[in-house]
Amino acid sequence: MTAELRDELDRIAAQAPARIDACASPEEVEALRVEYVGTKGSITRINKLLREVPADQRPGLGKRVGEVRSLVLQKLQEAGQKFQVEDGAGRQRIDITLPGRTFLLGRRHPLTIALDRITSIFSDMGFTVADGPEIESEYYNFEALNMPPDHPARDMTDTYYVAPQWPLRSQTSPVQVREMEKRRPPVRIIVPGKVYRNEDVSARAMNQFFQVEGLYVDRNVTFADLKGTLETFCRRFFPPKTRVRFRPSYFPFTEPSTEVDVSCILCNGSGCRVCKYAGWLEILGAGMVDPNVFGFVDYDPEEYNGFAFGMGIDRTTMMRYGVDDIRHFWENDMRFLSQFE
Ligand code: PHE
C-alpha cells in the first residue's frame, strides 16, 4: 500500500507542473485545483489514507504528501497569477478578464423634481421662495391664521405635538404670517416644505408630506388673479388633457375660499382607488386672505388684499407621473426611484 501511494504521488509530482503550466484560462487552473487538492482531490484522498498506513512508514509518506501538495499549490498559485495584472505598485493584482464594476448613480427624488418644476413655474410668474421651521408655535400654526385656541378648525388637521404648544406644523401657511411680519407689500412668495398630520397611512395619504404655500399681497388683487395664477400653473404642470375645477370651500384664514381639483390622470376621470372612485383629485386649497390675518401682521386691510394657496405635492406628483400609491415616495426602493428624470 505504501509503495502504491508513493508511486501515485511521484506520478502527480511528475505530471502536475506541466499540466498546470498548460492551462489557458483561470477556469482550467481551477479545475486542476479541484482535481488535486479539492476536498475530493487525489492528494487530499492520499492524505486521508495515511491513517491506514503502518505506523513506521507513516512519517516518511506523510512528508512526501506534504512535499507534493506544496509543489502543486505553488504551481497553481503561479498559474493563477498569469491571468492577473499587477497594479502600478506591484502589490494588488487585478483580474482583467472580469467585467467592469457598475456604479449606482444618485438621482433626484421624484418629489424634488416636482418641487423644482413647481418652483420654476411660479418663479416665471414673479414668485420668490421663502421657508420656515417645521417645529412651529401654536401662534403661527393656528392663532395668527385666525384660529384662536378654542376654534373648531384646529381639528381640521390631526396635529402632532413635540411639546405642549409646540406642534409639528400641519401646514405651510404659518410661513405666510412669518413673511408678512418681515416685510411690506407687495409680497409674492411660495414656500415649499414638509408638513405633518396624524393621518392613517394609505395609498393616497401619508402622515408626513410636502406642501407648497403661495401668497400674493398687493393693492387690488382679485379672485380673478388667484384663478388665473392657479390655472396657469395647472396648465403648465399637468399633462395637456387634464381638466381643472374650482369648488367653494372653507379655511379660517381665507374668505372666500376654494379648493382646486384636477381630473385623475390614472383613470382619466373614470374612477379608481387613488381618486376614491370620484374621477377627481383635490390638489390644493386657496382663497382671498382674510382681513383678520392682516390684523396680526399690521397690514391695513383697507389698503391691501391678496390671495393664498396651499398645494399637496405628493398627490400632485402622483397625478403628474401616474404613480398609484403615495407610499412609493417614502420607501426608498431604487427600482421605483430610478424611473424619474
Ligand atoms: N393650509 C391649507 C391646508 O393645508 C391650504 C390653504 C393654504 C388654504 C392657503 C388656503 C390658503 O389645507
Tell the residue nearest (CA) to atom 2 of ligand 1.
310
210 lines ligand 1 (CB under 6 A): no
Q: Is the model's pLDDT at 93 over the cut of 90? A: no
Helices (H) and strands (E) in the chain, counts: 11, 11
176 lines ligand 1 (CB under 6 A): no
Give which of 116, 120, 317 is closest to 232, Cα–Cα. Answer: 120
Structural contact between residues 144 and 296, judged by C-beta atoms closer than 8 angstroms: yes
Give which of 227, 326, 251, 240 is closest to 281, Cα–Cα. Answer: 326
193 lines ligand 1 (CB under 6 A): no
Q: 251 C-alpha vs ligand 1 centroid, how far in Å?
A: 7
The pLDDT of 96-107, averaged and rounded, is 83
- Distance between CA atoms of residues 145 and 75, nearest Å: 82
Element (H, E) at 213: strand 208-218
Tell the residue nearest (CA) to atom 7 of ligand 1.
310
- Rg of the chain over Cα atoms, rounded to whole angstroms, equals 37
C-alpha cell belonging to residue 24: 489557458
Q: Which of 189, 208, 251 to mutate to test the pocket of ligand 1 (most atoms within 8 A of CB)?
A: 251
CATH number for 110-337 (one of 3.30.930.10, 3.10.20.30, 3.40.1080.20, 3.30.310.80): it is: 3.30.930.10
Structural contact between residues 213 and 191, judged by C-beta atoms closer than 8 angstroms: yes
306 lines ligand 1 (CB under 6 A): no
pLDDT in tens, 284-301: 999 999 999 999 999 999
Give which of 235, 280, 238 is closest to 259, Cα–Cα. Answer: 280
3-state secondary structure of 158: coil
Domain with CATH 3.30.930.10 in the chain: 110-337
DSSP one-letter code for 102: P
- Torsion, Cα 214 217 218 224, to 10 degrees, reads 60
Tell the residue nearest (CA) to atom 10 of ligand 1.
286
What per-residue confidence (pLDDT) applies to 9? 93
- Distance between CA atoms of residues 309 and 229, nearest Å: 10
Q: Is the model's pLDDT at 83 over the cut of 70? A: yes
> What HEC string does 250-296 produce?
EECCEEEEEEEEEECCCCCCCCCCCCCCCCEEEEEEEEEECHHHHHH
Q: 164 C-alpha vs ligand 1 centroid, how far in Å?
A: 23
Specify the pairing of strand 208-218 against strand 187-196: antiparallel
According to DSSP H, which parts of the chain are helical? Answer: 2-21, 26-37, 42-49, 58-82, 110-124, 138-141, 174-182, 223-237, 291-297, 313-321, 334-337
C-alpha cell belonging to residue 272: 379608481
Cα separation values, 238 from 61, 112, 258, 264, Å: 83, 16, 20, 11
- Distance between CA atoms of residues 206 and 4, nearest Å: 77
The pTM of this model reads 0.71
pLDDT in tens, 322-333: 888 999 999 989
Q: 1 C-alpha vs ligand 1 centroid, how far in Å?
A: 93
Highest mean pLDDT among 8-12, 124-128, 235-239: 124-128
Ligand 1 atom, smallest distance to 172 CA: 1
* pLDDT interval class at 86 (50, 70, 90): low
Q: 173 C-alpha vs ligand 1 centroid, how far in Å?
A: 6
pLDDT in tens, 23-48: 988 889 999 999 999 999 999 999 99
